[in-house]
Amino acid sequence: MNKTERLLAIVLELQRKGVLRAEDLAAIFETSRRTIYRDIQALSEAGVPVVGSPGLGYSLMEGYFLPPVSFTVEEAVVLLIGADFIEQKFDISYGARAQTSQRKIEAILPESVRREATRVRTSIRLLASGEAVNSGQEKEYIETWRQSILEERKVNFYYSKVTSADGDKRDSVRTVAPYGLVLVSGAWILIARCDLRQELRHFRLSRMSNLTVLEDRFKVPSNFNLQDYQPADDRHLCVRIQANHTISDKIKESNNFYMESLEDHQDGLIVTLRVRQIEEILSWVLGWGAEVVVLEPESLRDRVREEAERMLKRY
């Protein structure tokens, strides 16, 4: 990064974060504090109103905002594809704003950059991973959860959970304090503290109904950070299957969430998975038919055998 690029980047960082110390800027741009001091002096001489506060750091004078900057083709593509993603996967309100954002970005791009960005963009397609694109109902739920998270208001809803391979469901009423939304393999997951369980739980939006935003307020714990959050791993059941070589590539490409390891052997591909209960993996195993055999646990072997017998009776 040359000096001109660094000066622009410093202004953008101050505009984005408000106040930064010289050592913070030095760490960000991998340079010395002395260089940052010279850069701040150069910005001031160029008319950029940088204010230095002893013991606090540097900031931009209130009301100052850097005019629109030019985008490279790659930067424009990133922004436009990001808007495509928001339009597909978020709620209707954000989807509409994604469209207007696209139009504004395209309007300020030079013709050559816009043409090249369009060419690259049309070569990339966003597909839902693992599940179909969100239903209209689910998009409405995203908007409800988004607002309740920002307003720190509890929500009551009905939750339906499949409890067996036969499709049996167990419905319950939950009241939760929502902490955040996460998109996992094409499915939206709510991270929330459940009043019933008195702990953090995960809820699929696709299994919800009858959402009611309550007047009850809550506070997200100061030590909770959604970006750093790692759920406790309670997948204690080890599953091992052997797959014929004819489908080993397909098994690898399936990228099943529960997979832990893949080992090529003379007799086939050995797949090790770790789950909470066998129902989580039963349908996936059955989907490969006679091309796979369960090595362990015996309980899963029994369930596969039972399902095969039930299918045989149907035919």
From 217, 245, 272, the end of a domain falls on 217
> What would the mean pLDDT of 195-200 be, rounded to a whole number?
93
Q: What is the DSSP string of 54-122?
A: TTTEEEEPTT--PPP----HHHHHHHHHHHHHHHHHS-HHHHHHHHHHHHHHHHHS-HHHHHHHHHHHT
Give residue 24's domain range: 3-60
Q: Is 244 found in the same domain as 303?
A: yes
Q: Is the pLDDT of residue 182 over 50?
A: yes
Q: Is the domain of 106 the same as that of 155?
A: no
Same domain, 183 and 244: no
Contact of 83 with 105, CB cutoff 8 Å: yes
Domain assignment of residue 231, yes or no: no
Co-location of 197 and 242 in the same domain: no
pLDDT of residue 126: 60
Residue 129 forms part of a structural domain: no
Residue 130 has pLDDT above 50, yes or no: no
The pLDDT of residue 21 is above 90? yes
More confident residue, 15 or 292: 292
Q: What pLDDT, in 10s, does the model give residues 81-116? A: 888 888 877 888 888 888 888 888 887 778 888 888
Q: Which pLDDT belongs to residue 165? A: 47
256: domain CATH number is: 3.30.70
What percent of the chain is modeled with pLDDT above 90?
Answer: 43
251-258 own/partner pairs: CB under 8 Å, 24+ apart: 251/288, 251/292, 254/284, 256/281, 256/284, 257/185
Both tokens assigned to 176: 């939760």
pTM of the predicted protein model: 0.57
| Residue 229: inside a domain | no
- CATH code assigned at 206: 2.30.30
Give the 3-state secondary structure of residue 277: coil
Q: What is the CA radius of gyration of the chain?
A: 26
Q: Identify the pLDDT of residue 132.
A: 46
CATH number at residue 39: 1.10.10.10
In a domain, 224, yes or no: no
Total domains, the chain? 4
Give me the mean pLDDT over the 270-280 stretch. Answer: 91
Residue pair 92/140 in contact (Cβ under 8 Å)? The answer is yes
Shared-domain flag, residues 285 and 257 = yes
Inside any domain, residue 304: yes
State residue 72's pLDDT score: 81
Q: Has residue 225 got a pLDDT over 70? A: yes
Average pLDDT over every residue of 158-179: 78
Q: How confident is the model at residue 216 (pLDDT cuts 50, 70, 90)?
A: very high
**Which is nearest to 161 in space by CA: 153, 171, 152, 151?**
171
More confident residue, 54 or 37: 37
Q: Is residue 227 part of a domain?
A: no
- pLDDT score of 253: 87
In this structure, are 10 and 35 located in the same domain?
A: yes
Within this chain, do residues 207 and 278 fall inside the same structural domain, yes or no? no
Residues near 117 by beta carbon (within 8 Å), at least 6 away in sequence:
73, 76, 77, 80, 109
291, burial (CB in 10 Å: exposed 0-12, middle 13-18, buried 19+): middle
| 104 part of a folded domain | yes
In the prediction, which pLDDT does 131 show? Answer: 46
The token pair at 278 is 């066998």
The predicted model gives 14-32 an average pLDDT of 90
Q: Considering the chain, what is the average pLDDT of its residues?
A: 86
Look-up: residue for tokens 């997979």? Answer: 259
Contact between 217 and 154 (Cβ < 8 Å): yes
Residue 208 lies in a domain: yes
